[in-house]
Amino acid sequence: MNSSILKNRKILLGITGGIAAYKSAELVRRLTKEGASVQVVMTEASTKFISSLTFETLTGKPVFTDIFSSPLAHIRLPQEADLYLIAPLTANTLSRLAQGMADDMVTACFLSFRGPVLLAPSMNWKMYEHPATVENLKRLKDMGCVVIRPETGELACGEYGKGRMAEVDVLIEEVKSSLCKKDLSGKKVLITAGPTREPIDPVRFISNRSSGRMGFSLARVARRRGAEVVLIAGPTAIAPPHGIKTIRVETASEMFESLKEHLSGANILVMAAAVADYTVKSPLSKKAQKTKLRSLKLSPAVDILKEVSKIKGDTFVIGFAAETGPNIAKAKRKLREKKMDMLVFNDITLKGAGFDTETNRIVIITSKGEKGYPLMSKEDCAEVIFDHYLEMVA
Protein backbone atom coordinates (compact mmCIF):
# COMPACT_ATOMS: atom_id res chain seq x y z
CA MET A 1 0.00 0.00 0.00
CA ASN A 2 1.40 3.40 -1.01
CA SER A 3 1.20 6.74 0.72
CA SER A 4 -1.58 8.97 -0.50
CA ILE A 5 0.47 12.08 -1.36
CA LEU A 6 0.40 11.46 -5.10
CA LYS A 7 -3.27 10.58 -5.28
CA ASN A 8 -5.00 12.69 -7.96
CA ARG A 9 -1.95 14.93 -8.36
CA LYS A 10 -1.27 16.05 -11.93
CA ILE A 11 2.31 15.64 -13.07
CA LEU A 12 3.64 16.94 -16.34
CA LEU A 13 6.65 14.85 -17.35
CA GLY A 14 9.10 16.13 -19.96
CA ILE A 15 11.35 13.56 -21.60
CA THR A 16 14.45 14.51 -23.54
CA GLY A 17 16.83 12.53 -25.73
CA GLY A 18 19.13 10.59 -23.44
CA ILE A 19 19.54 6.87 -22.91
CA ALA A 20 18.03 7.22 -19.41
CA ALA A 21 14.68 7.83 -21.16
CA TYR A 22 14.05 4.11 -20.75
CA LYS A 23 13.86 4.65 -16.97
CA SER A 24 11.07 7.17 -17.49
CA ALA A 25 8.71 4.35 -18.45
CA GLU A 26 9.17 2.82 -14.99
CA LEU A 27 8.85 6.29 -13.47
CA VAL A 28 5.48 6.81 -15.16
CA ARG A 29 4.29 3.35 -14.11
CA ARG A 30 5.19 3.98 -10.48
CA LEU A 31 3.72 7.50 -10.37
CA THR A 32 0.50 6.22 -11.91
CA LYS A 33 0.36 3.30 -9.49
CA GLU A 34 0.53 5.75 -6.60
CA GLY A 35 -2.52 7.56 -7.97
CA ALA A 36 -0.91 10.43 -9.92
CA SER A 37 -2.17 11.49 -13.30
CA VAL A 38 0.83 11.82 -15.63
CA GLN A 39 0.91 13.80 -18.86
CA VAL A 40 3.99 13.24 -21.02
CA VAL A 41 5.64 15.70 -23.39
CA MET A 42 8.72 14.61 -25.37
CA THR A 43 11.43 16.13 -27.49
CA GLU A 44 11.85 14.76 -31.02
CA ALA A 45 15.25 13.36 -30.00
CA SER A 46 13.82 11.37 -27.09
CA THR A 47 11.51 9.44 -29.44
CA LYS A 48 14.65 7.91 -30.98
CA PHE A 49 15.35 6.30 -27.58
CA ILE A 50 11.81 5.32 -26.57
CA SER A 51 8.52 5.41 -28.41
CA SER A 52 5.75 7.84 -27.48
CA LEU A 53 3.45 4.81 -27.74
CA THR A 54 5.06 3.41 -24.58
CA PHE A 55 3.97 6.47 -22.63
CA GLU A 56 0.56 6.68 -24.28
CA THR A 57 -0.02 3.10 -23.18
CA LEU A 58 1.20 3.71 -19.63
CA THR A 59 -0.71 6.98 -19.10
CA GLY A 60 -3.75 6.37 -21.30
CA LYS A 61 -3.27 9.88 -22.71
CA PRO A 62 -1.84 11.27 -25.94
CA VAL A 63 1.82 12.28 -25.79
CA PHE A 64 2.74 15.69 -27.20
CA THR A 65 5.95 16.05 -29.18
CA ASP A 66 5.30 18.51 -31.97
CA ILE A 67 4.50 22.04 -30.85
CA PHE A 68 2.73 22.81 -34.15
CA SER A 69 0.41 19.81 -34.33
CA SER A 70 -1.49 20.97 -31.24
CA PRO A 71 -0.91 24.73 -31.13
CA LEU A 72 -2.10 25.55 -27.59
CA ALA A 73 -1.01 22.39 -25.77
CA HIS A 74 2.11 24.11 -24.42
CA ILE A 75 -0.18 26.55 -22.54
CA ARG A 76 -2.98 24.18 -21.60
CA LEU A 77 -0.92 21.24 -20.26
CA PRO A 78 1.19 23.33 -17.83
CA GLN A 79 -1.96 25.11 -16.66
CA GLU A 80 -3.47 21.78 -15.64
CA ALA A 81 -0.33 20.44 -13.89
CA ASP A 82 0.67 20.59 -10.20
CA LEU A 83 4.35 19.92 -10.96
CA TYR A 84 6.66 19.75 -13.97
CA LEU A 85 9.41 17.13 -13.92
CA ILE A 86 11.91 16.82 -16.76
CA ALA A 87 13.61 13.41 -16.59
CA PRO A 88 15.97 12.73 -18.20
CA LEU A 89 17.25 16.21 -18.96
CA THR A 90 20.06 16.31 -21.51
CA ALA A 91 22.80 18.96 -21.62
CA ASN A 92 21.23 20.35 -24.77
CA THR A 93 17.72 20.89 -23.38
CA LEU A 94 19.22 22.08 -20.09
CA SER A 95 21.04 24.79 -22.02
CA ARG A 96 17.91 25.74 -23.94
CA LEU A 97 15.88 25.97 -20.71
CA ALA A 98 18.53 28.21 -19.16
CA GLN A 99 18.32 30.52 -22.19
CA GLY A 100 14.53 30.68 -22.07
CA MET A 101 14.11 29.10 -25.51
CA ALA A 102 10.73 27.66 -26.43
CA ASP A 103 11.18 25.84 -29.71
CA ASP A 104 9.70 22.47 -28.69
CA MET A 105 7.04 21.12 -26.32
CA VAL A 106 9.40 20.47 -23.40
CA THR A 107 10.95 23.97 -23.38
CA ALA A 108 7.72 25.81 -24.25
CA CYS A 109 5.91 24.08 -21.37
CA PHE A 110 8.74 25.15 -19.05
CA LEU A 111 8.23 28.81 -19.92
CA SER A 112 4.47 28.77 -19.52
CA PHE A 113 4.40 26.69 -16.30
CA ARG A 114 3.96 28.38 -12.92
CA GLY A 115 4.67 25.82 -10.22
CA PRO A 116 7.42 23.57 -8.90
CA VAL A 117 9.89 22.44 -11.58
CA LEU A 118 12.12 19.42 -10.98
CA LEU A 119 15.05 18.67 -13.28
CA ALA A 120 16.87 15.33 -13.46
CA PRO A 121 20.02 15.85 -15.56
CA SER A 122 21.54 12.89 -17.35
CA MET A 123 24.70 13.06 -19.44
CA ASN A 124 28.35 12.09 -19.73
CA TRP A 125 30.39 13.28 -16.73
CA LYS A 126 32.56 15.60 -18.84
CA MET A 127 29.46 17.28 -20.24
CA TYR A 128 28.05 17.55 -16.70
CA GLU A 129 31.22 19.12 -15.35
CA HIS A 130 31.68 21.52 -18.28
CA PRO A 131 31.55 25.16 -17.10
CA ALA A 132 28.74 25.83 -19.58
CA THR A 133 26.56 23.14 -17.97
CA VAL A 134 27.54 24.23 -14.46
CA GLU A 135 26.57 27.82 -15.34
CA ASN A 136 23.27 26.71 -16.91
CA LEU A 137 22.37 24.62 -13.86
CA LYS A 138 23.11 27.56 -11.59
CA ARG A 139 20.84 29.81 -13.66
CA LEU A 140 18.03 27.27 -13.46
CA LYS A 141 18.48 26.86 -9.70
CA ASP A 142 18.37 30.65 -9.33
CA MET A 143 15.06 30.56 -11.22
CA GLY A 144 13.73 28.26 -8.46
CA CYS A 145 14.08 24.89 -10.20
CA VAL A 146 14.93 21.88 -8.01
CA VAL A 147 17.86 20.00 -9.54
CA ILE A 148 17.88 16.29 -8.68
CA ARG A 149 21.57 15.52 -8.70
CA PRO A 150 22.72 12.77 -11.02
CA GLU A 151 24.53 9.81 -9.53
CA THR A 152 28.10 8.70 -9.91
CA GLY A 153 28.59 5.37 -11.59
CA GLU A 154 29.10 3.60 -14.87
CA LEU A 155 27.70 5.70 -17.71
CA ALA A 156 26.15 4.52 -20.96
CA CYS A 157 29.37 5.44 -22.81
CA GLY A 158 31.29 2.98 -20.61
CA GLU A 159 33.07 5.74 -18.68
CA TYR A 160 32.77 6.13 -14.93
CA GLY A 161 31.69 9.43 -13.41
CA LYS A 162 28.87 11.70 -12.28
CA GLY A 163 26.05 12.02 -14.77
CA ARG A 164 23.80 9.01 -14.44
CA MET A 165 20.17 10.06 -13.92
CA ALA A 166 18.98 9.65 -10.32
CA GLU A 167 17.15 6.39 -9.63
CA VAL A 168 13.36 6.26 -9.99
CA ASP A 169 12.93 5.97 -6.18
CA VAL A 170 14.83 9.21 -5.72
CA LEU A 171 12.83 10.99 -8.44
CA ILE A 172 9.57 9.90 -6.82
CA GLU A 173 10.76 11.00 -3.39
CA GLU A 174 11.64 14.44 -4.77
CA VAL A 175 8.26 14.72 -6.49
CA LYS A 176 6.50 13.90 -3.21
CA SER A 177 8.67 16.34 -1.33
CA SER A 178 7.85 19.15 -3.77
CA LEU A 179 4.12 18.51 -3.46
CA CYS A 180 4.14 18.42 0.34
CA LYS A 181 3.16 21.13 2.77
CA LYS A 182 6.23 22.37 4.68
CA ASP A 183 4.63 22.55 8.10
CA LEU A 184 7.64 21.00 9.87
CA SER A 185 10.15 23.45 8.46
CA GLY A 186 12.45 24.88 11.11
CA LYS A 187 11.98 21.74 13.24
CA LYS A 188 14.76 19.32 14.03
CA VAL A 189 13.47 15.75 14.22
CA LEU A 190 15.51 12.92 15.68
CA ILE A 191 14.28 9.44 14.79
CA THR A 192 15.48 5.99 15.86
CA ALA A 193 14.60 3.00 13.69
CA GLY A 194 15.13 -0.71 13.29
CA PRO A 195 16.28 -3.23 15.87
CA THR A 196 19.40 -3.19 18.03
CA ARG A 197 21.73 -6.17 18.40
CA GLU A 198 23.41 -7.34 21.58
CA PRO A 199 26.37 -9.60 20.75
CA ILE A 200 26.79 -13.03 22.35
CA ASP A 201 29.95 -13.75 20.39
CA PRO A 202 31.20 -12.55 16.97
CA VAL A 203 28.55 -14.59 15.11
CA ARG A 204 25.54 -14.64 17.45
CA PHE A 205 23.40 -11.91 18.92
CA ILE A 206 20.10 -11.14 20.68
CA SER A 207 17.77 -8.85 18.78
CA ASN A 208 14.15 -7.85 18.22
CA ARG A 209 12.05 -8.19 15.13
CA SER A 210 11.93 -4.89 13.26
CA SER A 211 12.45 -4.07 9.58
CA GLY A 212 13.05 -0.34 10.14
CA ARG A 213 10.18 0.52 7.78
CA MET A 214 8.13 2.56 10.28
CA GLY A 215 11.12 4.65 11.37
CA PHE A 216 12.27 5.14 7.78
CA SER A 217 8.76 6.23 6.76
CA LEU A 218 8.73 8.75 9.61
CA ALA A 219 12.10 10.09 8.47
CA ARG A 220 10.98 10.43 4.84
CA VAL A 221 7.74 12.17 5.78
CA ALA A 222 9.44 14.57 8.23
CA ARG A 223 12.00 15.53 5.56
CA ARG A 224 9.28 16.05 2.95
CA ARG A 225 7.39 18.30 5.35
CA GLY A 226 10.47 20.48 5.70
CA ALA A 227 12.14 19.19 8.89
CA GLU A 228 15.84 18.73 9.41
CA VAL A 229 16.02 15.01 10.12
CA VAL A 230 18.66 12.91 11.86
CA LEU A 231 18.04 9.17 11.69
CA ILE A 232 19.74 6.71 14.04
CA ALA A 233 19.25 3.23 12.66
CA GLY A 234 20.07 -0.22 13.91
CA PRO A 235 20.94 -3.02 11.46
CA THR A 236 18.27 -3.34 8.75
CA ALA A 237 18.03 -5.25 5.48
CA ILE A 238 16.34 -2.33 3.70
CA ALA A 239 18.29 0.80 2.75
CA PRO A 240 17.70 3.97 4.77
CA PRO A 241 15.84 6.75 2.97
CA HIS A 242 17.45 9.06 0.43
CA GLY A 243 18.73 12.49 1.45
CA ILE A 244 18.65 11.95 5.21
CA LYS A 245 21.60 12.10 7.60
CA THR A 246 21.72 8.52 8.90
CA ILE A 247 23.89 7.19 11.71
CA ARG A 248 24.27 3.43 11.85
CA VAL A 249 24.48 1.79 15.26
CA GLU A 250 24.40 -1.76 16.49
CA THR A 251 23.69 -2.03 20.23
CA ALA A 252 21.23 -0.30 22.57
CA SER A 253 24.06 1.54 24.30
CA GLU A 254 25.49 2.73 20.94
CA MET A 255 22.01 3.97 20.03
CA PHE A 256 21.76 5.83 23.34
CA GLU A 257 25.21 7.42 22.94
CA SER A 258 24.41 8.59 19.42
CA LEU A 259 21.02 9.89 20.54
CA LYS A 260 22.58 11.95 23.34
CA GLU A 261 25.00 13.45 20.82
CA HIS A 262 22.15 14.61 18.58
CA LEU A 263 19.40 15.40 21.09
CA SER A 264 20.43 18.98 21.69
CA GLY A 265 18.11 21.33 19.79
CA ALA A 266 15.77 18.54 18.68
CA ASN A 267 12.12 19.62 18.69
CA ILE A 268 10.88 16.05 18.31
CA LEU A 269 12.34 12.66 19.22
CA VAL A 270 10.61 9.62 17.76
CA MET A 271 11.70 6.33 19.29
CA ALA A 272 10.51 3.94 16.61
CA ALA A 273 13.42 1.56 17.23
CA ALA A 274 12.79 -1.86 18.72
CA VAL A 275 15.52 -1.61 21.34
CA ALA A 276 16.77 -4.84 22.90
CA ASP A 277 15.65 -5.19 26.51
CA TYR A 278 18.61 -7.29 27.58
CA THR A 279 22.27 -7.31 26.86
CA VAL A 280 24.72 -10.21 27.32
CA LYS A 281 26.83 -9.73 30.44
CA SER A 282 30.18 -10.78 29.00
CA PRO A 283 30.10 -11.13 25.22
CA LEU A 284 32.81 -13.48 23.95
CA SER A 285 35.52 -12.27 21.60
CA LYS A 286 35.77 -15.68 19.87
CA LYS A 287 33.00 -17.89 18.53
CA ALA A 288 31.76 -20.17 21.31
CA GLN A 289 31.16 -23.90 20.93
CA LYS A 290 27.41 -24.50 20.90
CA THR A 291 27.72 -26.82 23.91
CA LYS A 292 28.98 -23.83 25.92
CA LEU A 293 25.92 -21.75 25.06
CA ARG A 294 23.23 -23.58 27.00
CA SER A 295 22.56 -20.51 29.14
CA LEU A 296 23.40 -16.84 28.93
CA LYS A 297 23.96 -14.29 31.68
CA LEU A 298 21.96 -11.20 30.81
CA SER A 299 21.70 -7.74 32.26
CA PRO A 300 19.06 -5.11 31.38
CA ALA A 301 19.93 -2.95 28.38
CA VAL A 302 19.70 0.78 28.83
CA ASP A 303 16.07 1.91 28.66
CA ILE A 304 16.71 4.79 26.31
CA LEU A 305 13.35 6.50 26.74
CA LYS A 306 13.55 6.35 30.52
CA GLU A 307 17.00 7.92 30.46
CA VAL A 308 15.96 10.49 27.85
CA SER A 309 13.04 11.62 30.02
CA LYS A 310 15.64 12.98 32.50
CA ILE A 311 17.49 15.10 29.93
CA LYS A 312 14.96 15.84 27.18
CA GLY A 313 14.27 19.49 28.07
CA ASP A 314 11.67 20.85 25.63
CA THR A 315 11.96 17.96 23.16
CA PHE A 316 8.57 16.42 22.34
CA VAL A 317 8.99 12.67 22.82
CA ILE A 318 7.06 10.11 20.78
CA GLY A 319 7.41 6.43 21.65
CA PHE A 320 6.04 3.22 20.16
CA ALA A 321 4.51 0.15 21.74
CA ALA A 322 4.05 -3.00 19.69
CA GLU A 323 1.88 -5.44 21.63
CA THR A 324 0.28 -8.80 20.97
CA GLY A 325 -3.34 -7.91 21.65
CA PRO A 326 -5.43 -4.80 22.29
CA ASN A 327 -3.41 -3.92 25.36
CA ILE A 328 -4.11 -0.20 25.48
CA ALA A 329 -3.98 -0.03 29.29
CA LYS A 330 -0.39 -1.32 29.27
CA ALA A 331 0.50 1.20 26.56
CA LYS A 332 -0.96 4.04 28.61
CA ARG A 333 1.16 2.90 31.56
CA LYS A 334 4.27 3.06 29.35
CA LEU A 335 3.33 6.59 28.25
CA ARG A 336 3.24 7.71 31.89
CA GLU A 337 6.22 5.71 33.15
CA LYS A 338 8.54 6.79 30.36
CA LYS A 339 7.18 10.38 30.42
CA MET A 340 6.39 10.40 26.71
CA ASP A 341 4.29 13.13 25.14
CA MET A 342 2.73 10.69 22.67
CA LEU A 343 2.70 6.93 22.27
CA VAL A 344 1.93 5.11 19.05
CA PHE A 345 0.36 1.77 19.87
CA ASN A 346 -0.06 -1.10 17.46
CA ASP A 347 -1.36 -4.61 17.90
CA ILE A 348 0.96 -6.82 15.84
CA THR A 349 -1.55 -9.67 15.76
CA LEU A 350 -3.86 -7.65 13.47
CA LYS A 351 -3.61 -8.30 9.72
CA GLY A 352 -1.23 -5.85 8.01
CA ALA A 353 0.05 -4.42 11.30
CA GLY A 354 2.94 -6.77 12.02
CA PHE A 355 6.60 -6.70 11.05
CA ASP A 356 7.94 -6.54 7.50
CA THR A 357 4.74 -4.98 6.18
CA GLU A 358 4.31 -1.69 4.34
CA THR A 359 1.21 -1.00 6.42
CA ASN A 360 0.26 -0.47 10.03
CA ARG A 361 -2.84 -0.01 12.16
CA ILE A 362 -2.08 2.50 14.87
CA VAL A 363 -3.68 4.07 17.93
CA ILE A 364 -2.26 7.42 19.02
CA ILE A 365 -2.28 7.84 22.77
CA THR A 366 -1.59 11.06 24.63
CA SER A 367 -2.43 12.26 28.14
CA LYS A 368 -5.61 13.74 26.64
CA GLY A 369 -6.98 10.52 25.16
CA GLU A 370 -6.57 8.10 22.29
CA LYS A 371 -7.44 7.93 18.61
CA GLY A 372 -7.44 4.77 16.49
CA TYR A 373 -6.80 4.68 12.74
CA PRO A 374 -7.69 2.09 10.09
CA LEU A 375 -5.05 0.08 8.19
CA MET A 376 -2.82 2.60 6.39
CA SER A 377 0.55 2.71 4.67
CA LYS A 378 3.39 3.37 7.13
CA GLU A 379 3.95 6.72 5.39
CA ASP A 380 0.35 7.72 6.02
CA CYS A 381 0.76 6.62 9.66
CA ALA A 382 3.80 8.92 9.82
CA GLU A 383 1.68 11.77 8.38
CA VAL A 384 -0.98 11.45 11.12
CA ILE A 385 1.68 11.15 13.84
CA PHE A 386 3.17 14.51 12.80
CA ASP A 387 -0.33 16.01 12.35
CA HIS A 388 -1.08 15.08 15.98
CA TYR A 389 2.22 16.59 17.09
CA LEU A 390 1.42 19.88 15.32
CA GLU A 391 -2.08 19.95 16.82
CA MET A 392 -0.63 19.42 20.30
CA VAL A 393 1.99 22.13 20.08
CA ALA A 394 -0.22 24.66 18.24
| Eight-state DSSP code of residue 211 | -
Minimum distance of ligand CTP from residue 245's CB (angstroms): 20
Minimum distance of ligand CTP from residue 134's CB (angstroms): 45
What would you report as the CA-atom Rg of the chain, rounded to the nearest whole angstrom? 24
Q: How many CA atoms are closer than 13 Å to the CA of 355, on its beta-carbon side?
A: 18
Binding site for ligand CTP (CB under 6 A): 252, 271, 273, 275, 277, 301, 303-305, 319-321, 334
Minimum distance of ligand CTP from residue 275's CB (angstroms): 4
Distance CA 66, CA 132 (A): 28
Closest CA to 221 of 259, 183, 266, 248: 183
Between 166 and 273, CB nearer to ligand CTP: 273
Minimum distance of ligand CTP from residue 386's CB (angstroms): 16
List 145, 157, 180, 381, catalytic entry: 157
Between 99 and 299, CB nearer to ligand CTP: 299
Between 172 and 305, CB nearer to ligand CTP: 305
Could you list the beta-strand ranges (E) of 165-305.
188-193, 197-201, 204-207, 228-233, 245-248, 268-271, 278-280, 298-300
Minimum distance of ligand CTP from residue 362's CB (angstroms): 13
Establish whether 109 is a catalytic residue: no
Minimum distance of ligand CTP from residue 76's CB (angstroms): 51
Between 36 and 381, CB nearer to ligand CTP: 381
Distance CA 107, CA 99 (A): 10
Q: How many residues appear in the chain? A: 394
Helices 21-33 and 168-179 pack at an angle, to 10 degrees, of 50
Interacting residues of 58 by C-beta distance below 8 A, sequence separation 6+: 25, 28, 29, 32, 38
Q: How many CA atoms are closer than 13 Å to the CA of 369, on its beta-carbon side?
A: 4
β-bridge partners, 359: 377
Between 51 and 309, CB nearer to ligand CTP: 309
Helix (H) or strand (E) holding 92: helix 91-99
Minimum distance of ligand CTP from residue 374's CB (angstroms): 22
Between 73 and 344, CB nearer to ligand CTP: 344
Per-residue three-class SS string for 278-344: EEECCCCCCCCCHHHCCCCCEEECCCHHHHHHHHCCCCEEEEEEEECCCCHHHHHHHHHHCCCCEEE
List, by residue number, the catalytic residues: 157
